[in-house]
Amino acid sequence: MMPNGIDLDGLKKGGASPSGVERREFLKIGLAITGVFAGGTVFSLASNVGRALASPDEVYKKYPYKPHYSMVIRQNRCIDCERCKQACKATNHVPDYGYRTTILEKDVPGAIGQKREFIPVLCNQCNNPPCVRACPTGASYKDKTTGIVLIEDKKCIGCKTCMLACPYNARYFDDEKRSVDKCNFCFDTRLSKGEKLTACAAICPAHARVFGDLSERGGEVYQLVHQIVTPVWVLRPSVGTKPNVFYTKG
Amino acid sequence: MENREVQLSDIVKGVAASFDSSFPANWWSNVLEHLSGRKIFYVLLALSGLIVFAAAMAGLDALNIGHRVAYGVTREIPWGLLIATYIFFVVTSTGLCIVSSIGHVFGLESFMPIAKRSVFLAIVTILAGFSVIFFEIENPFRMAIYNVISPNLSSNIWWMGTLYGAYLVFMIIEYAFLLIGNHRFAMYAGLMGLIAGISAHSNLGAIFGALHARPFWYGPFMPIYFIASAMMSGAAAIIFFTYLGYKLNGEMLDAPMERALEVVGKVAALMISILLFFEIWKVITGLDGGPSEVATMKAILAGPYAINFLGFEITIGMVIPFILFLRSRFRNIGMMFAASMLMLVGIFMMRYDIVVVGQIVPSYYELGVNEYSHLMVYHPSFHEIMITAGGMGIAAMTFLLGERVFRGHKSEIH
């Protein structure tokens, strides 16, 4: 048995010592299995963007919404200045006890160099939103044009099932509105008034939050997601929500 | 290993022996005898009325100052004691309906004597549950409107609410027919109530089971577990309230009623063994699950919820009652009453655990971020505890009044 020109049987018996070439070939097998061989990106794109949309083919062909609003978070650019949180609160009248977006901290003590990274999180505006399915009165719904998950405040009975259904802890109950509240990509406060960006994306000094139309070829969001060089992922893909918030580094 | 087994069996023998010496001997029978008579009836009625009044004050205060301030629930743990109490009541109601239907819907003679009281109690407990949920839901009045004019048919909570509404109507119709002695129509209404109740209850389980985001709840386990545990609750409630009813009325159990409680006791013991089986496999598969499930299992086995789970839910709610049932040979009613009381305590904790423990592992636990690397904490607030007590008070008060007004739910079904 000599895959890739390595005498594996011989090595197993301990009779032969591996040559330099064999070592390199052996490493390649490992890299191919883990997906790193192809820059790690074939795996990431096929699995993550594919999960985010209905099927991998649809990544390039069809989008459920027009404009298909999405956000790409370039995680390593976030410096935790929290201006996005302030801008969000000011724009959307978010009360002190709640938030629509926040920044999580992750410490990696064993890492070389930088040991902490920041992960901005917000509503993922899922294509398959569990909150919408759970809501008894249809107060939470998927906007048919933009794909944004919206809430019709007056229909919210405050059962809070949506808060439990959401895998991203994106929702809280707003006492003033008497309704559950969450990020809506600034739909009522900015997008519907002609603005092109959400408040958080507009203010971010590091351009960590890239907002736009996922289906617009040539757009920045499109460019960041539809490539195989840099890994792109989504949060909790196993839950099957097909998020429209993507994460990358770079 | 062998030593340990010997010790364990010694402990079990010791526990059984201590029950043996105290059952049916003096102190327990003495306690039970004190329940008879007019005086105790009015004392209990006044006490439960007082609790309901205090709870109503607390509930109104909570409406006034807002749930966020009044209750212990948070963004991460939005469901707490009040949801657990609601579930406790509706599970008991469904269980009363299921177990009693064996007699008055499916015609098994020995179950007949418990029918009227059980149907009445099913109505009482679901009303107690609705009273509690009224204070739990942020906008209960919107619920009444938009559940009707804007239903979401893919929502389990919509189905649960709607079907429980129908269930309540059918149970009231059934009880009315039982009162006027029209057993044919009572049977039809009972059947409709049973179907609505089981459907509603499995939807209640599915509210949890269909939440993919919550590994501890997700899957078909919850609806099945809810139905099975309803039967356990129902059997316990029937024994508990029937015995109590007879004591309060100062009457002796007649032979058919003794026979009925004997079979209900057997149902209770059977359901305990089935539920233990469920719990064991839930724990074993959970320990083999992903990081979130493992963290949950550690919390209930050796963490902050170990006393709730192992102490109350398993030991007090199932193991001790099971031993008591076996030792009672399903004939010593006093001992079975004690078992059913312990079961109700354990079952209440069971509801609390299933609701709260499902939320203690945060959504971003597996992301490894600092904010969510630990379990979330929930403590019931004063308001929540008061409203829970109020629910119990409503159930107690209506039960007591029912015993008087309907004269011990006599007039048997044939």
Look up the CATH number of the domain holding residue B272. 1.20.1630.10
Nearest Cα to Cα of residue B366 among A103, A78, A71, A168 = A168
Note the pLDDT of residue B414.
Answer: 41
Residue B329 placed within a domain: yes
Distance separating alpha carbons of residues A33 and B231, to the nearest angstrom: 51
pLDDT at position B235 is 97
What ipTM goes with this model? Answer: 0.88
Judge whether A183 is closer than 8 Å to chain B, CB to CB.
no
**What does the pLDDT look like over B343-353, one tens digit per residue?**
999 999 999 99
C-alpha B141 chain-centroid distance: 26
Count Cβ–Cβ pairs < 8 Å, chain A vs chain B. Answer: 129
Which residue has tokens 């079990």?
Answer: B12
Confidence class for position B181, pLDDT limits 50, 70, 90? confident
Domain boundaries, chain A: 3-34, 63-248
Question: Does some domain include residue B203?
Answer: yes
pLDDT band per the 50, 70, 90 thresholds, residue B14: low
Contact A127, A244 (CB under 8 A): yes
| CA distances (Å), origin B280, targets B167, B236, B318, B360, B410 | 32, 21, 12, 20, 41
The rounded distance, in Å, linking the Cα atoms of B79 and B131 is: 16
Task: For residue A180, list its beta bridge partners.
Answer: A173
State whether A236 and B363 contact (CB < 8 Å).
Answer: yes
Domain boundaries, position B250: 28-409
**In chain B, whose CA is at the least distance from the CA of A166?**
B213
CA of B78: how far to CAs of B55, B65, B136, B138, in Å? 21, 17, 10, 11
B370–A104 C-beta distance less than 8 A: yes
Best residue in A119, A164, A233 to probe B by mutation, most B CBs within 10 Å?
A164
Question: For B57-92, what is each residue's pLDDT tens digit?
Answer: 999 999 999 999 999 999 999 999 999 999 999 999
Output the pLDDT for position B38.
Answer: 73
Closest CA to B197 of B103, B91, B271, B350: B91
Which position has the token pair 């049987």?
A9
- Average pLDDT over every residue of B175-179: 92
Distance from CA of A161 to the nearest CA of B (A): 8
Mean pLDDT of B222-239: 96
Name chain B contacts of A154, Cβ cutoff 8 Å: 142
Q: Got the DSSP string for B74-140?
A: -SS----HHHHHHHHHHHHHHHHHHHHHHHHTT--GGGGGGHHHHHHHHHHHHHHHHHHHHHHSS-H
Contact B211 A130 (CB under 8 A): yes
Q: Where are the alpha helices (DSSP H) in B288-331?
A: 291-301, 306, 320-328
Classify residue B303 by its DSSP letter: S
Measured distance between the N- and C-terminal CA atoms of chain A, rounded to whole angstroms: 42
What confidence score (pLDDT) does residue A40 get? 32
Distance of residue B189 Cα from the nearest chain A Cα, in angstroms: 27
Asked if the structure places residue B287 within a domain, the reply is: yes
pLDDT at B252: 87
Burial of B352 (0-12, 13-18, 19+ CB in 10 A): buried
**Domain A63-248 belongs to what architecture?**
2-Layer Sandwich (3.30)
Is B107 part of a structural domain of the chain?
A: yes
| Chain B residues whose beta carbon lies within 8 Å of the beta carbon of residue A133 | 152, 154-155, 210
Q: CA angle at residue B130 from B126 to B270, to 5 degrees?
A: 35
Q: How much is the pLDDT for B311?
A: 97
The string of pLDDT tens digits covering residues A143-202 is 999 999 999 999 999 999 999 999 999 999 999 999 999 999 999 999 999 999 999 999
pLDDT, residue A33, reads: 42
Nearest by CB to B369, from A104, A136, A159: name it: A104
pLDDT at B25: 53
What is the rounded distance in angstroms from the CA atom of residue B315 to the CA atom of residue B339? 12
- The pLDDT > 70 percentage for chain B reads 91
Q: Which own/partner pairs from A59-64 qualify as long-range (CB within 8 Å, at least 24 positions apart)?
A: A59/A226, A60/A226, A63/A214, A63/A215, A64/A127, A64/A147
User: How does pLDDT run along chain A (250 residues), one tens digit per residue?
Assistant: 444 455 556 555 555 565 666 655 555 554 444 433 333 333 334 444 544 544 444 444 568 888 999 999 999 999 999 999 999 999 999 999 999 999 999 999 999 999 999 999 999 999 999 999 999 999 999 999 999 999 999 999 999 999 999 999 999 999 999 999 999 999 999 999 999 999 999 999 999 999 999 988 889 999 999 888 999 999 999 999 999 999 999 8
- For residue A120, give the chain B residue with the closest CA: B369
**How many domains are there within chain B?**
1
B7 lies in some domain: no
